[in-house]
Structure 1
């Protein structure tokens, strides 16, 4: 099992902004502590090259990022204070997701401790996302002719609006987002398939919809590669999620996605996505369940 992780994932922000990021440091620590992984499972990505970024993001936007010249309004939309360390973090995460694709081709699956930055558009960032790692990696696979049909399975509680916009005219990438209907972003984009969940959706409704939908999608679209955005902000404990999925239900969600990938022999790269429960231990444990399942099911 190969896992992309770099210390820069966890430390790009001033102290007051660190809560959304601390999990990226704690996830590998917990997995190492409990023996689910060893240091040999972890690898540190380099920076993604500029020409690969520009397969997805517009030159003008990328130039603003690399020169740290976003306008105050553009910076506020991202939710982060702009800095060189933050940009380094973004380009490291994107390369990590690309690297995971190669490991997934060999092993069936690979995971990025961070990533899932699905609110980054071709020309803007928002919602803690500046560069869209899944879109960058998907366009890379298509450019290199490593994949010809890609399925994005986005199960974060928030719609993958940036991913939907990036691939709105690209038939080689099918975007599927299952998210809270009343949750942010309040102005949704149009994915190839959107399932909008009512507030307080429980395990039974959530898993029933997912199992019916994903099985059909794989048969219909016949993807040769899957990107899985495995946000744990669907949890009933999440302060932003508005859903009522238990930790057991969240784990069963992951299990089903991995079963479908494995049964259909489709490589899958996993990015972690969101998680905002008040207790960071709940966030970390739910994310760690994703890694635990991968070890049990694939290795």
Structure 2
């Protein structure tokens, strides 16, 4: 059974002007249940992550500053959300959700976190709506617990996974692959193990061709025994921040490509949602729902 992490705190309201990004976390599980793709028993509610797990990817000082709400005003501005105890708790629960998903993926081949993909968080700083790097924490947990020897992060959000790349720059057991908009945030990129910068206006044929060119080769060369897939839908042509021209069908074909190759090679995969900023919330929910539908048909 495919297990999906979802907690009501994922939908935590923010001050006016910040609420729109949170709306999909409420609507997506409702849509998946309404259409019958999944049932209530597919969903589970994670709790807060343990401090020792966080500290494998983040510094003690940064973790303590988060808990005490003592981040500097400059760092809070870089995060982009007002810093509150509820927001920190939300991030701690999202991070545990990705850890829990890792163990479910070992059992079932795949698992989802309705949230997650907070790939802009560095070991000692947050930015870009990301406080903790859930994928980095979960990957380090899997290595520590000897549940994986070689992890691959397949980050197909339109924004480079800069925090993830930096955290793992000296960790050969984690291979970071980021395919992202060349002219998009962050302005100053980090160096992943493999970066594929995409030109503004990149559409389906070029996008899918590049992914098909690189992903099978990487799996053969890196030989990962675990994959974290950041499945951001901000690659869509409708996205107000993405700068790419990928269609809804192209985005679905991307998901099919990633999940089919993971299934074919018997590699457990955890899928986290990443970003999506189309003006119509229905476009965001439909694109994310496609990722779940594809997984249900493959697994």
- TM-score after normalising by structure 2: 0.99
Q: How many Å apart are 1:161 and its aligned residue?
A: 0.1
Describe the SS at the equivalent of 1:104: helix
Q: Distance in 2 between matches of 1:34 and 1:72?
A: 44
1:10 aligns with 2:16: no
Q: Which residue of 1 aligns with 2:220?
A: 219
Describe the SS at the equivalent of 1:191: coil
Q: Aligned residues, how many?
A: 298
Describe the SS at the equivalent of 2:17: helix
Q: Which residue of 2 aligns with 1:67?
A: 68
Describe the SS at the equivalent of 1:30: helix
Describe the SS at the equivalent of 2:100: helix
Describe the SS at the equivalent of 1:190: coil
Q: Distance in 2 between matches of 1:16 and 1:127?
A: 15
Q: Distance in 2 between matches of 1:158 and 1:276?
A: 12
Deviations 1:174-204 (A, max 9, x none): 0000000000100000000000000000100
Q: Which residue of 2 aligns with 1:187?
A: 188
Q: How many Å apart are 1:12 and its aligned residue?
A: 4.4
Q: Distance in 2 between matches of 1:61 and 1:191?
A: 23
Moved over 6 A (4+): none
Q: Distance in 2 between matches of 1:255 and 1:180?
A: 21
1:126 aligns with 2:134: no
Q: How many Å apart are 1:11 and its aligned residue?
A: 1.1
Q: Which residue of 2 aligns with 1:271?
A: 272
Q: How many Å apart are 1:236 and its aligned residue?
A: 0.3
Q: Which residue of 1 aligns with 2:290?
A: 289
Q: Distance in 1 between matches of 2:264 and 2:41?
A: 27
Q: How many Å apart are 1:20 and its aligned residue?
A: 0.8
Describe the SS at the equivalent of 2:180: strand
1:252 aligns with 2:253: yes
CA RMSD of aligned residues (A): 0.6
Q: Which residue of 1 aligns with 2:238?
A: 237
Q: How many Å apart are 1:29 and its aligned residue?
A: 0.6
Q: Distance in 1 between matches of 2:59 and 2:191?
A: 20
Q: Which residue of 1 aligns with 2:98?
A: 97
Structure 2: which 5+ runs fail to align?
Answer: none
Describe the SS at the equivalent of 1:16: coil
Structure 1: which 5+ runs fail to align?
Answer: none
1:34 aligns with 2:19: no
Q: Distance in 1 between matches of 2:119 and 2:50?
A: 20
